[in-house]
Structures are given as structure tokens and as C-alpha cells.
Amino acid sequence: MPTKKPTIAVMYFPGNNCEEETLIAVKAAGMDGKILRWNTKENLRNFDGFVIPGGFAYEDRIRAGVIEAKDPVMGLIKEEAEKGKPVLGICNGAQALVETGIIPGLKDKVEMALAPNKNPFVSGYYNAWICIKSSQNKTRTAYTGFYDKNEILQVPVAHGEGRFITKDKSLIKELIKNKQIIFQYCTKEGSLIDEFPINPNGSMLNIAAVCNKKGNVMAIMPHPERAVWKRQLPDEKKNDEKTNSIKIFESMRGYITKNQKI
């Protein structure tokens, strides 16, 4: 009897973008999916996981992701995350997860911020191709199951507020201790150099992605859904092979299949 494909809800808020690319990546990874508006009447409990895409939800008024984080549907997604379902926030979605406190999720409050980029040449929004590497082992999260530790991905960043920061030194120690730093900005060879353009926004510890302690929720600032096929990369042409960015979504599929009855 064939195994049922996991079904992913790609949540759309006013001002989001890349929801179509995200859904394409979900399906390319062997899952089913559906784009749902923030005010959907569908029962979210029927979905096996969630992706919150990038963009500028609610025009990023006040600060990036904060109004989106207060939307009632985020409370429902938090409830599903607490059941162990995977929730992936990309760029603006990552900002929203931080603003809800789901990331890093060690206390029931906002513990981090995604601050304006620190960049010596560009003030505000910055868009470029960069490299990140997987900083944990295969079993650490729902998004690393198909990665080797220190495996390098080429992906784009496109944000104005992507700098993971906190003034809480004890939180930094906890993130390291709990292995919650999942992807870090690096050189093409994998070196962690804390300077522009290697670290494109000045993020502490070169952080590109953070997960919750359980590992089923991840906030990532770069856009893996924009780099699923080699033809999308700046130095490739007409190549329909998949890149290793798809492994984030394939790992999500593997996690659901292993941990949930579908």
C-alpha cells in the first residue's frame, strides 16, 4: 500500500511573496501542499506541516514580522508546532517566528531580534547570492536529515532586517549548548568569517538559521526555495538537476513520515 504524501500548508499573509516558489519546492521534495490565506476557514490540524514564506507581511509596519506574529492564525500554528509538527519560516516568515517567541522558544516570550542589516556599502535591503553551511548533524532537526555536517549550500538573501541578535549572553550560551544554530553564513570553502560579504547582515555567530530546542521549528533568513534547481544559480544555465537546497524540504518530508502517522 503506497504511503500517503505529507501535506504542507504554505501560509500566505498580505504582503508575502515566494509562496508559489515555496509550494513548488514542497512538491519537488515529494510532498503535497496548498497555499492558504491567513484568514482561511480550513482546519489547520489536517495539515502535517507548515511553511511561512518571505516578503513584507502587512508592509512590515512597526518592524519586520511583528504584525504577522500577532495574527490569530499564528496561535493555531504554534499549537500545531507544540504537537511536534514541523514549521519552517523563510525570511519574513523567520522574522514572524522570532516575533512570536516560537524561535528560539526557550521562554514564552520574544528572546531575540532580527535587526537591520549591518553592511558597509548598502543601507537597508540587500539582495545577493551567499553560502551557508549545515552546522549540526543529520538527526538534530526536521530540516537537516539529508545533510552532512558542514555541507555547503548556495542560496540568495533578500532582506533589510536579517541580523540575528540578542543582548542576553546566557541565551547565546543556551543556543550553542542546545545546538540550535542550524545554518551559518560561510565562504565557498566553509570558513566562518564574520565580515561582509561573507556574513551579509552582521548576524551574531554568522547565524543564518535557528531552530527551537525540539528541532521541529526553524527560522531561516536565506531563501532555499529560490535555489532548488541548478538553473536558478548564478553560474549555471539550463540545468534541471536539483541542488542540495531541496534537502531542507526533503528532510521535512522524512521527519513527518518518520514521526507522524500519515
Examine the residue annotation and report whether 161 is marked as an active-site residue of this protein.
no
Grid cell locating 242: 536539483
Catalytic choice (91, 131, 186, 211): 91
Cα–Cα distance measured from residue 206 to residue 195, given in angstroms and rounded to the nearest whole number: 9
Contacts of 100 (CB under 8 A, 6+ apart): 69, 74, 78, 110
Alpha-carbon radius of gyration of the chain? 17
Q: Any alpha helices (H) in the chain, and if so which ranges?
A: 19-28, 66-70, 72-82, 92-100, 169-177, 246-259
CB burial of residue 4 (10 Å; 0-12, 13-18, 19+): exposed
Strands 217-220 and 49-52: unpaired
The upper half-sphere exposure of residue 236, i.e. CA atoms within 13 Å in the direction of its Cβ, equals 15
Examine the residue annotation and report whether 225 is marked as an active-site residue of this protein.
yes
Closest CA to 247 of 226, 230, 224: 224
Q: Which residue has the cell 545533510?
A: 147
Examine the residue annotation and report whether 20 is marked as an active-site residue of this protein.
no
Catalytic choice (21, 68, 225, 250): 225
Distances (CA, A) of 260 to 4, 77, 86, 102, 144: 11, 16, 10, 21, 17
> Where in the sequence numbering do the catalytic residues fall?
91, 223, 225
